[in-house]
Amino acid sequence: MKVSTDAPPLENRSVEVGPSLSERRPTHWHRPLLILAAAMVGLALLNTAGVFFDPREVTNAAVWMKPLKFALSIGLYSLTLAWLIGRLPTGSLIARIASVAGTIAAVGLVIELVIINGFALVGESSHFNLTTPLHEALWHTMAGSIMVVWVMTLVVAALLFFAPLGDRARGVAIRAGAILALAGMALAMLMTGHQPDQLGDYQDVVGAHTVGLPDGGPGLPLLGWSTVAGDLRIPHFIGMHALQVLPLFVLSLEVLAVKVPALRSARRRLWLVLLAAGTYAAAVALLTAQALMGQSIVAPAGVILAGGIALTATVVVAAVAIMTLIKTETNREA
């Protein structure tokens, strides 16, 4: 169809700019999770003080570094899950179920935090430690509590499919973020089995973060991810924080749409979110393969390097196509 030369400029046409800022706020917050998130701020400060003033180390890292990272991660998780539960219709059955699931998840996280910080207090490793019956019982308790958290997150993620979450782009981002977070959390299971060196020389330790070398080798500053071997903490971390990344991505698109005409199309934002979700999933898969191959995050090679380059090129081409082809279709419709 020929485009009329009398059509008004694109920026002056009626376009979908996205939900208002007030619509992005939840109708309510899940209080137990919100309290836990606030408590994590205080705990993180205490752990930070421990990192600087307690000289003890566990597996060649400051004894309070692991509790600090868990406090920060759990704080983000709790705040995000409290926000997600608040997106569900107030007083509805799904909101009540999600509220119970959120409270159970908060209790599970508190149990894990108590054990991790308790081990740090006595200067011992909290993970994979089967030195005594007490150590073994605490390790299994912690594993059980985090499994409960995973199941409760699954319940909330499932309920999100029965609730209106705004436009389609936002709905996809929130739901995809929850699904990828569940996958990322589940990747922790790869760390809990016997490693090859442990089978040949059992020393009351079952499981490891590192693949190819023992835990405690050279690592990235603060994060501690191995720079000489594979590290399963990387896909685990990246995957579970899709819970924050994808919703933040779509919210960023909505905010930018006010100033950037190209993002005012709800259809274009939807395709960008689908691209982001697919890219995120592919990146987690690639990082998991890299870790299992015993390859360091700082030295990608072979099929991993080729896969990373191919993924990057595909994303660039797809993003350009979304921003140009959908624009052409909009103009034709005009």
Model confidence over 108-149: pLDDT tens digits?
999 999 999 998 898 887 777 777 888 888 888 988 999 999
What's the CA gap between 81 and 150, in Å, rounded? 12
Pick the closest to residue 285 from 303, 269, 271 (CA basis). 303
Residue 42 forms part of a structural domain = yes
Tokens of 252: 């960023």
| pLDDT tens-digit series, residues 241-280 | 999 999 999 999 999 988 888 888 888 999 999 999 999 9
- Domains: count for the chain: 1
**How many Cβ atoms are within 10 Å of 215's Cβ, its own excluded?**
23
Residue 170 forms part of a structural domain = no
Residue 128 forms part of a structural domain = yes
Confidence band, pLDDT 50/70/90 cuts, at residue 197 = low
Range of the domain at 60: 27-164
Residue 41 forms part of a structural domain = yes
- What percentage of the chain carries pLDDT values higher than 70? 84
Residue 100 forms part of a structural domain = yes
Residue 275 forms part of a structural domain = no
Residue 126 forms part of a structural domain = yes
> 248 and 273 in contact (C-beta within 8 Å)?
no
Residue 82 forms part of a structural domain = yes
In a 10 Å sphere around its CB, with 0-12 CB exposed, 13-18 middle and 19+ buried, how is residue 315 labelled?
A: middle
